[in-house]
Structure 1
Amino acid sequence: MRTNLTIRARKSCPVPIRTARWLPFTLGHSCMSTRSAALLLLGILMLCQAARVPAQSRASSATTRPRDLLAELKPLPNDLARYQYLLTITSTGENTTARQLLASVEDQLGLYDGAITAFPFDNRIVPPPKIPLPTPVDWRAENAVAAIAAQANRHRIVMINEAHHDAHTRELTLLLLPKLYAEGFRYLAIEALGSTDPGLMKRGYAINGSGSEYLHEPVYGEIVRQAIRIGYILVPYDSDAPTASGREAGQARNIYRQVFAKDPRAKLLVHAGYAHIDKAPGNLGDNVQPMAVQLARLAGVEPLSINQTQFRDIAPGKPDPGAYGVLVERFHPLQPTVLRNRQSGALWSSDPARHDISVILPSAGTDSRPHWLSLDGKRQPRLVNTDLCHAHIPCIVEAHYADEPDTATAADRYTFLHDDEQNMLYLYPGRYRVRAVDAKGQTLGSRTLLVDEH
């Protein structure tokens, strides 16, 4: 079935969603490790350009070999080096692939507002027009963590999605970990995990080689760290199949083989990107069966699918003219929020065929370090500045747990782009080693930090 919905490109032509709706999702998954994703996106961009380029010039454009940014980024020593490299590319003109990669790297560097702004598409899928947006007359706002935990006790698979360049979409999964464990969930499948880190479970935290670069982002690292501490068995499941349909099938098989083939009564939490959690095709292409559909078929278990990528802030400090802005104005969310029908008690979904629950995230605000980083008040802000950088700018200032090495995912980090600046790191109570590091990976300075209980 065709649809007229579009993904709105901020500075490029709109792409029909039936052609391109899955593209940001595919690239977003493994932007630093899957070359085919970048090539597929470039193919769509060539379609965009074809609408503007005279016919006689299209042949030469079509034969131009796409730039392999992933190969260019691979040998660089750290996230800051990748950031600087991508800046040089994006500053020379419009390069949508580079801007997507830049947004992901900014997210990993703790530059959360910059990551949201840098992403070149508004890739929030527009709600189906036949489903009206809720109003406070019929719906009430509730804390998403409590509501989802209560709903999960009737399910054996819970799936939550994320936008890979927006760490705010990881807060909900992190807060749900202890709640779902109490409901009997023992497996956590994480898309960003690789299968080449056999020491992960014993070690207890992610390191540089644990998976994709998404795991360099501190909140993602905290999901891994706390899940292991609580008692979850972590399941890497991504597939490197070269096609969208092959990748979805591979993901489903990998999860089934590692979980339900061995433990048929298992209860599983899945943290995945975008439309992998859809319970019906469409958002990945009309002929692509999402991972959730295929896993349900293999395991004989219908998942509880939770979408939190649709209603989130993409322009901090600016009005949102779309559905997200309407819902924020009506319900004023201050935390991940769901809506419950006042009469039936059902939780709202903007697209019931694909998702069971829609989550509304609060506005990001205008601070470079958004307040949601307190993680429901469990982390405390601590002031850091450029003193440890010793005039080497830009520089990352990051806090590591005192008993973890520099190669571990930081507890929090922020990247200073100018000298004589200060900002906040958000940290749980405990002992930390705060260090500054440059684009070569060299430590510029370090100190210890104790964060007391409230």
Structure 2
Amino acid sequence: MLARLAVRAGFIAALLVCASAAAQSFDPSALKLLRDMGRAPTTLARYSYLIRKEPSLSPGNQLLALQFMAFSQDELGLYDQAVFDFPLKNSLPNDFKLPASGEWRSADAVDTIAALATQRHIVMVNEAHHDGHTRQLTLELLPRLRALGFTYFAAEALGENDPDLAKRGYPLRKSGTEYLRDPLYGDILREAIRLGFTLVPYDNALAGQARETAQAEALYQKVFAKDPHARLFVHAGYAHIDKAPGRLGKWRPMAMQLQKLTGLVPLCIDQTDFLETDLDASDAYHRLVHAFPSDKPEVLLNRQSGQPWSARPAAYDVDVILPPSLSIEAFGKYKYGFRSNAYESGLPHVLERNEMQRAAWLSLGGKRRPYAIDSSLCRGTIPCVVGAYYPGEPNDAIAADRYAFMGPIETSKLYLRPGSYQLRASDSDGHALSESDIRIAPP
């Protein structure tokens, strides 16, 4: 399933995160889909349910199902599959012109943002919720901003019902919304806690303008009303980081309202206007990376003024362009694990291990190392998910990395920092299939 959908980010941002909030926006058939999906005991069970259900849905509900399928794929470590199956593309401004290499030059995104943040009290970075690659930048910025004196970290996915999170040092499933179940998001919170940030949950179950307003008010009351000189780092979704209406229609975005409440102008960083969504070399993203090649997240700086490039300067300050990473081999080299010439020379088809490729960015610049896994860990139960967990952490802790096997003879890799882990395989109901201890050696 490589559906070629193109939907506006404003629409996707308006879709609600959970079924409890959905009653305000969705029709009865969509609500039933959300309720049935919510009964699934695990992410893998939800994903399997949506795969079965999606073909029989109405077009509108198919779009909703595909969105939640992409969320599930992201949470299960199927990062490329999530992007291919839900290729979200923003509608760019009518007057958009591709920057020319004679006028602009490439620069390291982390270094540039850290330099721009020196005199700011608020920095906001956005993500596409189904694209784990958009979480790498925040993970790399955390130590840089902490060194600049930023002490508060607000994450849209954080919830209010885990008061022991900072003390414990790692997130559980109950620590926030489903986005938090992505191992990369879990890594972000672990790093923020390790660095001594004060964690700030700020999202709500409202919709539309009410949600934007309540987000801004929560950030103001929890941070600046108590500490007027605070320095705040915010990780949000899509156009919540905008300082002007536009991508959310007439709604006044969260960043715009927080600026008014505090009198502080936030530094707003966008990653969603130019994302790799497929292999079409003619789209704006691929033309950008062709003109400004880089193997790291990059920004563009004006060759004369040194100012960063923004496709929407009224809304945000900087566009970050992530390097290409998508590969069709994320779906495997052999469909369903069989050779394409299965009956060549009259021989019965030959089973061969089907390598499911994962993106190179998962190494996080060499901080994590690949560890080979295969579906034999599932002990004959397919689908199953294989996760690596830190020693002593419970089953509902967010994994260091994980991968879902959907076929019986698949191989893949986990990406893990040096250290000890418990490798656990489980089925759709969460029942353990195998467990073992592993150690990742330093480079």
TM-score normalised according to structure 1 size: 0.87
Aligned ranges 1:271-420 → 2 under 5 Å: 271-286=235-250, 288-315=251-278, 318-366=279-327, 367-368=329-330, 369-420=358-409
Partner of 1:237: 202
C-alpha separation in 2, matches of 1:320 and 1:422: 29
- Establish whether residue 165 from structure 1 lines up as the match of residue 130 from structure 2: yes
Name the CA shift for 1:82/1:283 in 2 (closer, same or farther; >3 Å).
same
- 1:111 is matched with which residue: 57, 71, 78? 78
- Establish whether residue 34 from structure 1 lines up as the match of residue 1 from structure 2: no
C-alpha separation in 2, matches of 1:236 and 1:33: 18
User: Shift in Å at residue 124 of structure 1?
Assistant: 2.1
Contact 1:197–1:210 (CA under 8 A) maintained in structure 2: yes
Please state whether the residue corresponding to 1:136 is helix, strand or coil.
Answer: coil
User: Shift in Å at residue 445 of structure 1?
Assistant: 0.1
C-alpha separation in 2, matches of 1:285 and 1:353: 14
User: Shift in Å at residue 65 of structure 1?
Assistant: 5.1
In the alignment, residue 364 of structure 1 is paired with which amino acid? S
User: Shift in Å at residue 323 of structure 1?
Assistant: 1.1
Counting aligned pairs with the same residue, the percent is: 47
Instruction: Give the root-mean-square deviation of aligned CA atoms.
Output: 1.7
Partner of 1:199: 164
Name the CA shift for 1:376/1:353 in 2 (closer, same or farther; >3 Å).
same
Partner of 1:226: 191
TM-score normalised according to structure 2 size: 0.89
C-alpha separation in 1, matches of 2:56 and 2:367: 42
In the alignment, residue 196 of structure 1 is paired with which amino acid? N
User: Shift in Å at residue 265 of structure 1?
Assistant: 0.3
Contact 1:237–1:251 (CA under 8 A) maintained in structure 2: yes
Deviations 1:140-184 (A, max 9, x none): 111101111111112110000000000000000001000000000
In the alignment, residue 223 of structure 2 is paired with which amino acid? V
User: Shift in Å at residue 451 of structure 1?
Assistant: 0.8
- 2:150 is matched with which residue: 185, 192, 212? 185
Contact 2:19–2:31 (CA under 8 A) maintained in structure 1: no
Contact 2:212–2:253 (CA under 8 A) maintained in structure 1: yes
Contact 1:106–1:114 (CA under 8 A) maintained in structure 2: yes
Contact 1:278–1:354 (CA under 8 A) maintained in structure 2: yes
User: Shift in Å at residue 37 of structure 1?
Assistant: 7.1
In the alignment, residue 64 of structure 2 is paired with which amino acid? T
C-alpha separation in 1, matches of 2:359 and 2:225: 42
- Establish whether residue 125 from structure 1 lines up as the match of residue 125 from structure 2: no
User: Shift in Å at residue 246 of structure 1?
Assistant: 0.3
In the alignment, residue 35 of structure 1 is paired with which amino acid? A
Equivalent pairs, count: 410
Could you list the runs of 5+ residues in structure 2 that have no partner in the other structure?
331-357
Contact 1:430–1:450 (CA under 8 A) maintained in structure 2: yes
